[in-house]
Amino acid sequence: MMSQNDTEVSEFLLWGFSEEPELQPFLFGVLLSMYLVTVCGNLLIILTMITDSHLHTPMYFFLSNLSFIDICLSSTIVPKMLVNIQTQRRVITYGGCLTQMYFFLLFGGLDDFLLAVMAYDRFVAICHPLHYMVNMNPWFCVLLVLGSWIISALHSLLHSLMVLRLSFCTHLEIPHFFCDLDQMVKLSSSDTFLNEIVTYFATGLLGFGPFTGIIYSYSKIFSSVHVISSVQGKYKAFSTCASHLSVVSLFYCTFLGVYLSSTASPNAHAVATASVMYTVLTPMLNPFIYSLRNKEMKKALRRFFSKEVIKLSFVLGQKRCL
């Protein structure tokens, strides 16, 4: 039976960070800087891969998609955070909350799937190098990315529909800086048993599935590298995986850190602060990891900037002549 206090809720309040006024300008500046670095860094990666023919390979095709998704993931959360801090009005509409939750689940799931796809790409490249161009042909690469989008979209839609069936009381406060699925389910006045079952099942299938694929791919990669006799050959094989391994470690370690902090500490503000690691910090660091630890990417970036400098010099020269 639904409580008499239940009604059709129209808005939520987001309480994710400190409410101390003196900290608000500092938080705004830090978050804005991180967001700008995230967008500019990932856009630079995408533009470099589009313009440089040397990077028209499956690995960099997947990386460009990962960069795009990182931009979308940050854009789903950070702009609303900045508005809330600047205006000191933490209200988000019910429809806006559901929309934010849907896209956060979509792009978070895509991150997970693409990391697994990139691990498979490295597995084929190292364990089956002679068949790499045949197995990882352009159509198959597009299908892998398209399949990731479809599965993630259906997964997000499922959770959104499950939340739509729930009832909420008025004047609800979400102890987070965005509309997190778990927090919304906890705030519901309805029976959430079915939602919890669906969440556990989806997390087990779509969360641990890609992670298992990554573990399997790298177990095979390590086995193949182990039989290589030369040290130079081992180093070359591992160097192609170093950036991806760093991103995978960062993604799963931050996610695990948030999970452990939520189970170990009842403090919702501590959990919200820990969530910044995988929602804001990880997308910001990914471009640096791939650009600083990848020789081909560093060469491509130098070529890209050289072209832009030449174009700029040409334009300035034309203006002087006029």
- Residue-wise pLDDT tens for the chain (322 aa)? 344 344 456 688 887 666 677 778 888 999 999 999 999 999 999 998 888 888 889 999 999 999 999 999 999 999 998 988 888 888 888 889 999 999 999 999 999 999 999 999 999 999 988 889 999 999 999 999 999 999 999 999 999 999 998 888 766 788 788 888 888 888 888 888 899 899 888 888 887 889 999 999 999 998 888 887 777 777 777 777 888 888 888 888 877 777 666 665 556 666 676 677 778 888 998 888 887 667 777 777 777 777 766 665 655 556 665 5
Roughly what angle, to the nearest 10 degrees, separates helices 58-87 and 138-164? 30
Pick from 271, 290, 273, 269: which is nearest to 281 by CA?
Answer: 273
Q: What is the CATH number of domain 9-321?
A: 1.20.1070.10
For residue 66, the model assigns a pLDDT of 94
Burial of 282 (0-12, 13-18, 19+ CB in 10 A): buried
* Long-range contacts, 185-191 (Cβ 8 Å, 24+): 189/2, 189/3, 189/5, 189/6, 190/2, 190/165, 190/166
- The backbone torsions φ and ψ at residue 19, rounded to the nearest 5 degrees and listed phi first, read -95, 5
Asked whether the beta carbons of 152 and 114 are under 8 A apart, the reply is no
All structural domains of the chain with their residue ranges: 9-321
Q: What is the distance, to the nearest Å, from the Cα of residue 1 to the centroid of all Cα atoms in its chain?
A: 39
Task: Determine if the pTM surpasses 0.85.
Answer: yes
Instruction: Find out whether 106 and 73 touch, Cβ atoms under 8 Å.
Output: no
Q: Which amino acid is at 7?
A: T
Contact 103, 72 (CB under 8 A): yes
